[in-house]
């Protein structure tokens, strides 16, 4: 078996990411037993299979490595072999595997080797009968995947916008075929329009119709952006739903503190969060708020006078325990966007901005889960969240857990005291009175 200097081996830019734990395992194995399975390269020393083994050898300080050198007539054949190596090992996340299935089919089709309806087990290329590689579906079935899973996989790989794929990779959603297929389908209509616009643009280009080409290019950009927007929302919704279903972190065993006694008009700092005791519809609370909050979460009250929230936060979510939210929004004078039904809670979404409604089915139970869902859906870490009602401290604890900054208040001192006590118990920290 040939020995090749490690620094001469070329690694393509389309390799799948390394897994550190696997490299560490291989380092120990190679150190103890040597390289039992040589890496594979082509005649130009392009790496085909064995990136983890090659990396382990590099980290061990080896200068050369044993290689299995194979000769390919076309670069596509080398890539095909690399894909097969990865698929056979069956160590891929669903998104990763789906992309390889689609790429493999595209390579076979480009090489004229993709089986079509009515094809024999052999085909002709350059006047010579050859045996083509296995169909991707056959390879998938040998690895234990059904035809339905395979077709869903190709839909995932083909249907998700490239920018959204980059958001997904490395997250828990990349391991959830159900979430991935929902994201892919979220932009189905836009993707179909984009494909038609792409074909029309290519035809206009070929015919020299500059005006039509420009029109189709503009349409293509618009629908691609809309597809990205819808799929980003579907991704955020999937993350939020997953997060909301997790049980809140249990309180750490901390020494108990005396209950904090709060009076009307007082302000308290809880880490990065600000708590106010008093009427949250009055200037005293409004003047404490940031000018660029991402979200406000409130509940319908008998004397609602919090329409100002839509000017303080990009999105206002109003929760109602029973009945539709329409009666409320008709008299609230806030710009209504849409309604979500989360468990048995109706949530009205208000905003001066045009918002796309989540298209995926949502199954979230309990106020705690709903608050987590909304914060994940409409905010990012370090964003500001406003809560004009304390409740049981759900918004405060969710902001602490998810890394958001909460501005919360209530006119009932007993609720404020209880919310502060819950935060202190959850974090093991003490609050600080500031006003």
47-68: pLDDT as tens digits: 877 888 999 999 999 999 999 8
The structure's pTM equals 0.59
pLDDT of residue 44: 84
Q: Which residue has the tokens 């939020």?
A: 240
pLDDT of residue 325: 66
399 Cβ neighbours under 8 A, 6+ residues apart: 273, 375, 385, 405, 406
Rg (CA), the chain: 29
| Position 16 confidence tier, pLDDT thresholds 50, 70, 90 | low
161 Cβ neighbours under 8 A, 6+ residues apart: 187, 224, 227, 228, 231
Condensed to tens digits (0 to 9), the pLDDT of residues 143-174 reads 788 888 899 998 899 899 989 998 898 888 98
| Position 119 confidence tier, pLDDT thresholds 50, 70, 90 | very low
pLDDT of residue 171: 86
Q: Ramachandran region of residue 314, left (φ > 0), alpha (ψ -120 to 50) or beta? A: alpha
Six-digit token pair at 367?
């106020």
Output phi, psi for 267, to 5 deg: -120, 140
Condensed to tens digits (0 to 9), the pLDDT of residues 73-83 reads 666 777 788 78
Condensed to tens digits (0 to 9), the pLDDT of residues 188-221 reads 888 889 989 999 998 998 898 999 999 999 999 9
Of the candidate ranges 98-102, 139-143, 419-423, the one whose mean pLDDT is the lowest: 139-143
Instruction: Please answer whether residues 237 and 377 qualify as being in contact, where contact means their C-beta atoms are separated by less than 8 angstroms.
Output: yes
Instruction: Please answer whether residues 42 and 72 qualify as being in contact, where contact means their C-beta atoms are separated by less than 8 angstroms.
Output: yes
Q: Which residue has the tokens 């200037």?
A: 283
Of the candidate ranges 94-98, 244-248, 261-265, the one whose mean pLDDT is the lowest: 244-248
Output phi, psi for 145, to 5 deg: -105, 140
pLDDT of residue 14: 54
Residue range 98-112: mean pLDDT, rounded: 84
Q: What is the mean pLDDT of the chain?
A: 84
Condensed to tens digits (0 to 9), the pLDDT of residues 309-335 reads 999 999 999 998 766 666 777 777 899
Residue range 2-31: mean pLDDT, rounded: 82
| Position 255 confidence tier, pLDDT thresholds 50, 70, 90 | very low
Residue 269, SS3 per DSSP: strand
- Whether the pLDDT of residue 72 is over 70: the answer is no
Nearest alpha carbon to residue 351 among 322, 323, 314, 380: 314
Condensed to tens digits (0 to 9), the pLDDT of residues 126-135 reads 444 445 577 8
- Return the H-helix or E-strand segment holding 331: helix 326-332
Length of the chain: 435
Half-sphere exposure of 228 (CA within 13 A, CB side): 13
């Amino acid at each position: 078996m040939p020995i090749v200097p490690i620094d001469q081996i070329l690694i393509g830019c389309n390799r799948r990411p390394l897994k550190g734990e696997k490299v560490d395992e291989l380092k120990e194995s190679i150190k103890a037993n040597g390289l039992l399975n040589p890496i594979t390269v082509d005649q130009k020393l392009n790496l085909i299979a064995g990136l983890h083994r090659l990396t382990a050898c590099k980290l061990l300080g080896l200068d050369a490595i044993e290689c299995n050198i194979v000769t390919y007539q076309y670069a596509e054949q080398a890539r095909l072999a690399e894909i097969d190596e990865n698929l056979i090992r069956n160590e891929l996340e669903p998104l990763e595997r789906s992309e390889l299935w689609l790429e493999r089919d595209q390579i076979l089709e480009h090489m004229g080797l993709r089986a079509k309806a009515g094809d024999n087990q052999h085909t002709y290329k350059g006047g010579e009968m050859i045996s083509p590689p296995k169909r991707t579906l056959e390879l998938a079935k040998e690895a234990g995947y059904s035809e339905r899973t395979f077709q869903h996989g190709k839909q995932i790989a083909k249907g998700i916008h490239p920018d959204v794929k980059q958001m997904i990779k490395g997250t828990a959603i990349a391991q959830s075929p159900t979430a991935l297929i929902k994201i892919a389908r979220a932009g189905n209509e836009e993707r179909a329009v984009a494909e038609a616009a792409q074909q029309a643009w290519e035809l206009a280009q070929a015919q020299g119709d500059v005006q039509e080409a420009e029109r189709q290019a503009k349409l293509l950009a618009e629908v691609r952006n809309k597809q990205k927007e819808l799929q980003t929302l579907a991704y955020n919704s999937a993350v939020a739903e997953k997060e909301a279903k997790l049980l809140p972190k249990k309180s750490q065993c901390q020494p108990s503190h005396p209950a904090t006694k709060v009076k009307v008009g007082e302000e308290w700092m809880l880490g990065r969060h600000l708590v106010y005791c008093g009427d949250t519809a009055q200037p005293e609370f409004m003047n404490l708020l940031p000018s660029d909050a991402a979200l406000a979460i409130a509940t319908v009250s008998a004397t609602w006078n919090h329409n100002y929230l839509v000017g303080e936060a990009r999105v206002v979510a109003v929760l109602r325990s029973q009945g539709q939210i329409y009666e409320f929004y008709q008299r609230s004078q806030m710009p209504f966007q849409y309604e979500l039904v989360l468990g048995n809670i109706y949530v009205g979404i208000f905003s001066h901005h045009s918002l796309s409604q989540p298209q995926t089915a949502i199954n979230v139970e309990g106020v705690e889960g709903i608050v987590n869902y909304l914060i994940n859906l409409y905010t990012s870490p370090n964003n500001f969240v406003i809560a004009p009602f304390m409740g049981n401290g759900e918004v405060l604890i969710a902001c602490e857990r998810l890394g958001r900054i909460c501005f919360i208040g209530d006119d009932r001192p007993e609720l404020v005291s209880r919310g502060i006590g819950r935060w202190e118990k959850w974090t093991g920290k003490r609050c600080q009175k500031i006003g």
